[in-house]
A = this chain, B = another copy of it.
Amino acid sequence: MSWMLDVKDLTPIAIGASILGTGGGGDPYIGQLMAQRALEQYGPVKVLEADDIAGDDWVIAIAGMGAPTVLFEKPPHGDEPVKAFLRLEKHLGISNAIPCPIEAGGINSLIPIVVAAQLNRPIVDADGMGRAFPELYMVTFHVGGLNGTPACIANEFGDYVILDHLHDNLAFEWIARGVTIRMGGHAFVAQFPMLGDQLRNNAIRGTLSLAWRIGQAVINAQENHLDPISAIASVTAYADYGEGRIIFRGKIAEVNRRTIEGFARGTMRIEGMEEFKNRSLIIDFQNENLIARDDEGKHVATVPDLITVLDSTTGQAITTERLRYGQRVAVIVIPAPSIMKTPEALKIWGPRGFRYDFDYVPL
């Protein structure tokens, strides 16, 4: 079942994608502006399910890479993503590839919409992370054996760097990150060119629709003076995701954050309120929230399940760079779909993939 995505859908998608972003993905504001301008100029975009894609259609993932905060210092012209996308098509000798998000989270849920609108092409309702993750190889496409290269990086100067072949996806992440840093901290990357069959076998499905559902639930609750947190929990059981559970409500009591090699790493401590009074929740993050543990060190939730810190009044996600002492928050956990919890997948983004010495703890 396909649907048409128009300007009015961007706010719910931006709100929902930030919640799926689990603290990462960055502020979607610039991405939303870019998508709005593209949709106003070129009209709505058709959203296809993975099963609507033909086996021999080409699909290319398109995303921003680097620190989203840099986008506020050097806003893009708006044509960087489409330039990266078309340059990669030319390099591959293909045409009419369908844009696909690499992750569900913040700005990167919106960038493929920009490209689809500008090229008058559909977009796939599926991606490679089902949430946000900090590194490029943390995608189901990698788990499924696909190589991120050939890829093309483009920036606001009209520069193009083509990663023609890198021997594995860790090298792809390493070199692409290096180029992005030297391009000033943010660039756009067209990557993981694949056929429709490869997409269908490997992508996490329905993520754009799920973002829209979550965002729309937040907006409805806000408009009707209902609790947005409960509204979010009730709509997350979609596609293969589980129903969200509110694991904590409280006040941010402590945030330790360091920027290390381009990542925001740290921990936060939340002091409980209401039914969670006299208890604490500690969350570790690396751009995204990774591990939630209670006062006694017991792991309450871990990657790849989606741990999101929400503003308790508005229901909107608080990204890790915006955490502040005193914020009233709720913590929701959305069980990741089963494709993200195979043994191969957990090696990449289970706790051990982030150098913890324990295994994934199901909610």
Contact = CB atoms under 8 A, between A and B. Distances in A.
Interface of A: 87, 91, 152, 157-167, 171, 174-175, 178-179, 181-183
Contacts of A160: 164-165
A181 B177 CA distance: 12
A5 B163 CA distance: 36
A159 B179 contact: no
Contacts of A171: 157, 159
B161 A164 contact: yes
A164 B91 CA distance: 10
Contacts of A181: 178
Instruction: Give the oligomeric copy count.
Output: 2
A162 B159 contact: no
Question: Which interface residue of A152, A158, A164, A167 has the most chain B CB atoms within 10 A?
Answer: A164
A181 B179 CA distance: 11
A161 B159 contact: no
A162 B178 CA distance: 14
A341 to B, nearest CB: 32
Contacts of A162: 161-164
14 contacts: A152-B164, A157-B167, A158-B165, A159-B171, A160-B164, A161-B161, A161-B164, A162-B163, A162-B164, A174-B182, A175-B179, A178-B178, A178-B179, A179-B179
A166 B159 contact: yes
A179 B178 CA distance: 7
Nearest to A160: B164
A158 B167 contact: yes
A175 to B, nearest CB: 5
A162 B175 CA distance: 12
A244 to B, nearest CB: 39
Contacts of A182: 174-175, 178
Most buried by B among A159, A163, A166: A159
Nearest to A183: B175
